[in-house]
Structure 1
Amino acid sequence: MSSPTTLPLLETPSPADSSPSPVRLEAEPSREAGTSARRMTLVDGLRGFAALAVVLPHAVGLFTFAGAGALSEWMVRLAHFGHRGVEVFFVLSGFVIAFSLRRTHLSPRGIGQFILRRSLRLDPPYWVAIAWFCGFLLLRGVMTGKPAGLPSVPHLLSHLLYLQDLAGYGQLNVAFWTLCIEFQFYLAFAVLLGLAQALSRWSGREAVLPLFFAGLFVLSLAWPTGLLQMRSHETHVIYLPPHVFVFLAGALTWWTLEGRLPRAVWYTLVIGLWALFAWKLDSRVFVAAATSSLLYVAGRSHRLYSWLAARPFQYLGRTSYSIYLVHVPLCLLLLSVKVRVAPPSDLAALAFLGAVYAASIAAAHVLYTWVEAPCLEWTKRLKR
């Protein structure tokens, strides 16, 4: 896929130990009886919607057939916007990482511990998803009588280390590219945050840290504005810089809500994003601006912990990473079944799309229950 999850693919951290801030956020809720802490329900809910959105572009083949009707043509157009669920994940990742590291001193040891926690959180479900996709390749080979096309050992190892694009192998599963970007961001953000903390201590001014990243945000706009572009021979390589502005839009939003970044600076930067969208009509810029604005409005109006709190939204949010990991082979499998057993009609395509969503949610539930949830508990124990 050209652009889908990480997923954000971070867990929404517990806000119970948040430090006071000039803006009285719900970042300091009291603990409720029988629970550890409240969660940012808006963040989880948005993750759920983003996970559902990115499924559609991979299932769009259900709607492409000779004589497709108006419904299928409309679904094909809608699928294009499903790609933008990726930017929602990226903004949320920046927002949550800035929150989760707000009281962390990032020495080289601290950076290593942070990356270790991220690996324990994300790697095991990802490895299972790699095995799941290889199993799909084997099944497809048996069904078609063609070679399975399994990855070589170096190709597989590059995936395990999120280096498949940088190593020139490309993606085994087209959805995996965002995981490479996410991990590049974690490492770069932690290192830069540690540097900004050192500059802040050296200068004696806490405002240096958010302003440092505000400057990086402005520089990162060189990609969406077109001032910097990938060279033609680099178009197959997925790397972080063109996506930095999306992550930082989320991080700067948290720091503004926390009171560390002046609101006037945030307003200037976000208005600049909206102006850039009006100029370029870039849907990535629109999603970055819209998601950041929504998070800011929710924070200012004390709704981060109440909007999208309904159980279905929260369930989808919790399992969004697993949905992202498992949905591609299911899309391909059900598309193959549809071609063989169903007539080329709009209603058949819509029915199979429902089956794709149902199967993806069911498989994600299993992956979340048996792999992802235990990993979450491990990272919590490690942090304690």
Structure 2
Amino acid sequence: MPSSPSTPAPDALRRDDPGLQPVPGEGEGAREAGASVRRMTLVDGLRGFAALAVVLPHAAGLFMFPGAGALSEWMVQVALFGRRGVEVFFALSGFVIAYTLRRIRLSPGGVGNFILRRSMRLDPPYWVALGLFCGFLLLRTVMTGKPADWPSGMQLLTHLLYLQDLAGYGQINVAFWTLCVEFQFYLSFAVLLGLAQALSRRLGRDGVVPGFFAALFVPLLAWPSGLVPVETKAVTQSLLPHAYIFLAGALTWWALEGRLPRGAWYALILLLWGVFLWLPDSSTFAAAATCSLLYVAGRRQRLFSWLSPRPFQYLGRISYSIYLVHLPLCMLFMSIRVRVVEPSDGVALLFLGVVLAASVASAHLLHTWVEAPCVEWARRLKR
């Protein structure tokens, strides 16, 4: 059962901690009951790093050319590891959504309200990004003279509903598959949390909710452990192979909140690290490392103070917009580089800097004009 507003904060998150400094900002998870607006600065900072990391693999083509030097070869490996920013996002999503819903009783109407708020928060920037990508396709057609591979009406419709992979239409922008997985998680988690809360009320036991999800977490490790093979792209880009990452984040919050026994969290996170040792994979490592860092920060009362410098917070604030706009910019500047200059390590680094700067600048505009108003609308609906 959700803790009531009068429930004292656990020792790991005491409000009298000097590290809990007010940080202005927008978004879910910003408010504590009866407290001024605060941000989990560590979460926002990690979001910013993850967003920049995800840019790298889509810009890796800058470093792939005949006669590439050692620096370019090394940058390709770094760029490929940047894909793990996706798992960082997933773990943070589970952590923040568990925090956001910590005092909400999810009736069917409550689930609908939650999904509507998520849609108001995420959809308009996503729709704008879809339009921008179609604009990039038009620009590429003008530059190259080659016909554009325009999306069909059904492909656009399924994109608007986050169903493109489940319906088999594929991605207009390959980066958008993670948004489909995120939305599948929001819906599944809210429904299951509502059912677990109802069971908790029926049994009169508060530990049912975290216990239910802890029991669900263990069999989901069959995917990262290799016991269940992921054979098709449709399965890879669905929720199931990634669900353990979201739940690891949620369980980490419940452990810090005191609803999941500390020993149980240690057992689960050690099991996750054990899966990584059994079948080393950077995805599992990113998930386990992110949750471990969040837990350590919470126990040391630093969730609201680590990564608090303004540059980190700024990147975190626009991280969703960075994720939305970066791919067509990567493709555009890779195309320009091929046409205007001979490739070299130095040129590749220069163009990577341009890509990152353009992504941040474009994300700033998208956040200011579209995303920030949507955040406020979603917040008003919550009230």
- Normalising by the smaller structure, the TM-score range is over 0.9
* Kept in 1: contact 2:248–2:291 (CA 8 A): yes
Q: In the alignment, what sits opposite 1:276?
A: 275
Contact 2:126-2:324 within 8 A present in 1 as well:
yes
What SS is found at the alignment partner of 1:83?
helix
**For residues 382 and 235 of structure 1, do their structure 2 counterparts lie closer, same or farther at Cα, with a shift above 3 Å needed?**
closer
2:249 maps to 1:261? no
Preserved CA contact (<8 Å) 1:26 1:305: no
d(CA) in 2 for partners of 1:32, 1:306 = 9
Kept in 2: contact 1:26–1:304 (CA 8 A): no
Q: Structure 1 residues 18, 227: CA separation in 2 closer, same or farther (over 3 Å shift)?
A: farther
Deviates more, 1:163-172 or 1:236-245: 236-245
CA distance in 2, matches of 1:91, 1:145: 43
**Correspondence 1:309 to 2:297:** no
- Structure 1 residues 203 and 361: CA distance shift in structure 2, 3 A: same
User: Taking structure 1 as reference, are residues 254 and 127 closer, same or farther at Cα in structure 2, changes over 3 Å only?
Assistant: same
State the partner residue of 1:171: 171
CA distance in 2: counterparts of 1:165 and 1:34, whole angstroms: 37
Give 1:247 deviation, angstroms: 0.4
For residues 264 and 77 of structure 2, the distance between their equivalents in structure 1, rounded to whole angstroms, comes to 37
- Contact residue 170 and residue 236 of structure 1 kept, 8 A: no
> How big is the shift at 1:49?
0.3
Matches for 1:41-190 after TM superposition, within 5 Å: 41-190=41-190
Q: Name the counterpart of 2:204.
A: 204
Name the residue aligned to 1:3: none
1:23 maps onto 2:11 in alignment: yes
Name the counterpart of 1:238.
237
Task: Give me the whole-angstrom Cα distance separating, in 2, the residues matched to 1:34 and 1:54.
Answer: 26
The gaps in structure 2 that reach 5 residues or longer are: 26-35
DSSP-derived class of the 1:52 partner? helix
Instruction: Find the aligned partners of 2:271 and 2:240 in 1 and give their Cα distance.
Output: 19
2:326 alignment counterpart: 327
Asked if structure 1 preserves the Cα contact closer than 8 Å seen for 2:24 and 2:37, the reply is no
Q: Which residue of 1 aligns with 2:346?
A: 347
CA separation of 1:78/1:123 partners in 2, compared to 1, >3 Å: closer, same or farther?
same
- Give distance in 1, aligned partners of 2:135 and 2:272: 43
| 1:208 aligned partner, one-letter code | V
Secondary structure at the aligned position of 1:229 is classed as coil
Could you say what secondary structure the match of 1:84 adopts? helix
State the number of aligned residues: 367
Q: Kindly tell me: are residues 26 and 362 of structure 1, through their superposed partners in 2, closer, same or farther at Cα, counting changes over 3 Å?
A: farther
1:18 to partner: Cα distance: 8.5
Cα distance in structure 2, aligned partners of 1:20 and 1:290 = 28
- Match in the other structure for 1:363: 362
More off after superposition, 19-28 vs 194-203: 19-28
* In structure 2, C-alpha distance between the alignment counterparts of 1:340 and 1:236, rounded to whole Å: 38
**Deviation of 1:229 (Å):** 2.1
- 1:19–1:347: structure 2 CA closer, same or farther, 3 Å change rule? farther
What residue in structure 1 maps to residue 30 of structure 2?
A: none
Who is 1:226 aligned against? 226
Unaligned runs of 5+ in 1: 1-16
Distance 1:52 1:34, change over 3 A: closer
Name the residue aligned to 1:10.
Answer: none
Q: TM-score, normalised by structure 1?
A: 0.92
Q: Deviations over 1:194-242 (max 9, x none)?
A: 010011111110001100000010011011111212345x557621110
| Distance in 1 between residues matched to 2:51 and 2:21, nearest whole Å | 29
Look up the equivalent residue of 1:95 and give its one-letter code: F
Who is 1:9 aligned against? none
TM-score, with normalisation over the residues of structure 2? 0.93
* Structure 1 letter corresponding to 2:323: Y
Aligned residue type for 1:242: P
Return the alpha-carbon distance in structure 1 between the equivalents of residues 22 and 166 of structure 2. Answer: 46
Deviations 1:124-183 (A, max 9, x none): 000000000000000001111111221111111110000111111100001000000000
Q: 1:166, 1:264 → 2: CA distance?
A: 38
**Root-mean-square deviation (Å):** 1.7
> Any idea what the Cα deviations from partners look like across 1:262-306, whole Å, max 9, x if unmatched?
000000001111111111111111111110010000000010010
C-alpha separation between the residues in 2 aligned to 1:247 and 1:261?
A: 16
Percent identity between the aligned chains?
69
Q: Could you tell me which residue of structure 1 aligns to residue 380 of structure 2?
A: 381
Deviations 1:87-116 (A, max 9, x none): 000000000000000000101000000000
